[in-house]
């Protein structure tokens, strides 16, 4: 499908692919086993412009488009799903809202260090009782002189354990419901009353940390708010729309790793005197996996193209995220089946892919929520 890409997009993809194959893939199993990330890898990614792919160069980013970003996330995730999570959350959930909604001063202070790769950012929305329903947010922000006083706990925050910077959502006016939610950006190191809570033990994406963020009478400056008070929900939804393209890309990358390893195994595993790749039952599994993953790629590129051209892409991003994650999950199920017993043991990376891919059906909006978004659009209820 290369003919659909520009030369610049191909160069971005190939750059990420070489790095993923040569530097990241050889250490992916160790990162998963040790439940850790590689600071050296993140530094190298920063130097390549990958920690700020779509951020203009004037703010330290790579100055690339969103199609290139999707290609890069796919390649990184093909080598290591957990590192793909770090890159996706940092770019889509932190850099994006600061670039899109921040003032010039905020961009200089909070975007440049992260887009250049010197620091990592995170996005704190989810709470114990607020996932798909942002109206259930309990974290509050109360203006007190020149500061906002923040109280609340955020759950399941990707990069939360390694981030210096954070965009977070809080209720500034409870009486206004959805219209009383605002977003803030801060340097966590300069936020008294903040601490990192529990770091979760997870099924997969173990190369990325998922943490609880605790604000206890924490104080951020009055000018930490992104945009106007009460604009948080609109900002949040737009951020998540963009982020869903990156999660679709992550799922696609893991799915392609599954397909590549399934093909390699099927060609070399001999049963009944011939490679299992010659059996129709295996061929059909591989054919379905390849077709579904290619279809996912086209949905992702369409959504990213629309974003690049400042066109509405809410439904298209939801379709891409839903379909790509379902396709990749199906591929992982079949990949384990093709490898049989070897697909179930840690000597082969297939079981890691199986564990890593599941989260793509859940975070940044479950696939049930994506179906609601799609239905709302096709029934003419677009907001």
Of 120-134, 153-167, 214-228, 320-334, least confident by mean pLDDT is 120-134
Residue among 59, 54, 43 at smallest CA distance from 12: 54
66 sits in which H/E element: helix 66-79
User: Which of 304, 375, 350, 296 has the alpha carbon at shortest distance from 328?
Assistant: 296
**Closest alpha carbon to 316 in 244, 234, 262:** 244
Mean pLDDT along residues 254-281: 98
Name the percent of the chain lying above pLDDT 70. 99
Taking the CB of residue 133, how many other CB atoms lie within 10 A of it?
9
256 CB contacts (<8 Å, ≥6 apart)?
A: 74, 78, 293
- With CA atoms as reference, report the closest residue to 182 among 141, 238, 153, 124: 141
* Distance separating alpha carbons of residues 110 and 117, to the nearest angstrom: 12
Our answer to whether residue 364 is catalytic in this structure is: yes
CA angle 346, 262, 265 (to 5 degrees): 80
CB 236 within 8 A of CB 181: yes
295-352: per-residue pLDDT in tens? 999 999 999 999 999 999 999 999 999 999 999 999 999 999 999 999 999 999 999 9
CA distance to 142, 184, 208, 221, 293, per residue, from 149 (Å): 5, 12, 29, 9, 46
Ramachandran assignment for 199, one of left (phi > 0), alpha (psi -120 to 50 degrees), beta (any other): beta
Q: Is the confidence at residue 1, as pLDDT, over 80?
A: no
Over the stretch 187-212, which tens digit does the pLDDT of each residue have?
A: 999 999 999 999 999 999 999 999 99
User: Chain-wide mean pLDDT for the chain?
Assistant: 97
Asked whether residue 140 carries a pLDDT value surpassing 80, the answer given is yes
Give the contacts of 166 (CB within 8 A, at least 6 positions apart). Answer: 94, 121, 122, 123, 124, 160, 185, 186, 188, 213
How far apart, in whole angstroms, are the C-alpha atoms of residue 273 and residue 268? 11
Q: How far apart are CA 229 and CA 212, in angstroms?
A: 25
| pLDDT tens string 9-37 | 999 999 999 999 999 999 999 999 999 99
The angle that helices 314-339 and 367-378 make with each other, rounded to 10 degrees, is 140
Cα angle 303, 246, 54 (rounded to 5 degrees) comes to 85
Answer whether residue 4 shows pLDDT above 70.
Answer: yes
- Parallel, antiparallel, or unpaired for β 210-221 and 274-275? unpaired
Q: How far apart, in whole angstroms, are the C-alpha atoms of residue 19 and residue 244?
A: 24
Query: For residue 99, which of 167, 198, 181, 187 has the smallest C-alpha distance?
Result: 167
Residue 381: its pLDDT value, please? 67
Q: Which helix H or strand E contains 74, and what residues bound it?
A: helix 66-79
Domains, in order of start, for the chain: 2-119 (1.10.540.10), 122-230 (2.40.110.10), 233-378 (1.20.140.10)
pLDDT at 81: 98
Q: pTM for the full model?
A: 0.97
pLDDT value at residue 382 = 57
DSSP label at residue 201: P
CB-based contact 225:183 (threshold 8 Å): yes
- Active-site choice (47, 104, 364, 368): 364
Closest CA to 66 of 91, 41, 83: 91
């Amino acid at each position: 499908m290369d003919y659909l890409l520009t030369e610049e997009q191909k160069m971005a993809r190939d750059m990420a692919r070489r790095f993923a194959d040569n530097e990241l893939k050889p250490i992916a199993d160790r990162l998963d086993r040790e439940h850790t990330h590689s600071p050296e890898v993140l530094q190298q990614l920063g130097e390549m412009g990958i920690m700020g792919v779509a951020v203009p160069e004037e703010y330290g980013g790579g100055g690339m488009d969103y199609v290139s970003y999707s290609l890069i996330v796919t390649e990184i995730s093909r080598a290591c799903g957990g590192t793909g999570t770090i890159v996706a959350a940092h770019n889509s959930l932190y850099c994006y809202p600061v670039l899109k909604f921040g003032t010039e001063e905020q961009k200089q202070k909070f975007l440049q260090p992260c887009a250049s790769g010197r620091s990592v950012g995170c996005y704190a929305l989810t709470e114990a009782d607020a996932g798909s329903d942002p109206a259930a947010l309990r974290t509050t922000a109360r203006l007190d002189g020149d500061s906002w006083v923040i109280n609340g706990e955020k759950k399941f925050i990707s990069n939360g354990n390694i981030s210096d910077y954070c965009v977070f959502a809080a209720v500034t006016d409870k009486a206004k419901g959805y219209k009383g939610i605002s977003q803030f950006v801060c340097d966590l190191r300069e936020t008294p009353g903040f601490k990192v809570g529990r770091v979760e033990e997870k099924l997969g994406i173990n190369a990325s940390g998922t943490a609880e963020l605790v604000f206890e009478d924490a104080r951020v400056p009055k000018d930490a708010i992104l945009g106007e008070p009460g604009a948080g929900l609109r900002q949040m939804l737009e951020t998540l729309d963009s982020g869903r393209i990156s999660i679709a890309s992550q799922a696609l990358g893991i799915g392609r790793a599954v397909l590549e390893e399934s093909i390699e195994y099927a060609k070399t595993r001999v049963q009944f005197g011939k490679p299992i790749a010659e059996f129709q039952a295996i061929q059909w599994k591989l054919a379905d996996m390849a077709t579904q993953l290619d279809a996912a790629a086209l949905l992702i590129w369409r959504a990213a193209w629309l974003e690049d051209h400042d066109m509405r892409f809410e439904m298209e991003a939801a379709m891409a995220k839903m379909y790509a994650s379902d396709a990749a999950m199906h591929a992982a199920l079949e990949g384990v089946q093709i490898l049989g017993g070897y697909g179930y043991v840690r000597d082969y990376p297939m079981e890691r892919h199986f564990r890593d891919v599941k989260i793509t059906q859940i975070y940044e909006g479950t696939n049930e929520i994506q179906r609601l978004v799609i239905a709302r659009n096709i029934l003419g209820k677009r907001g």
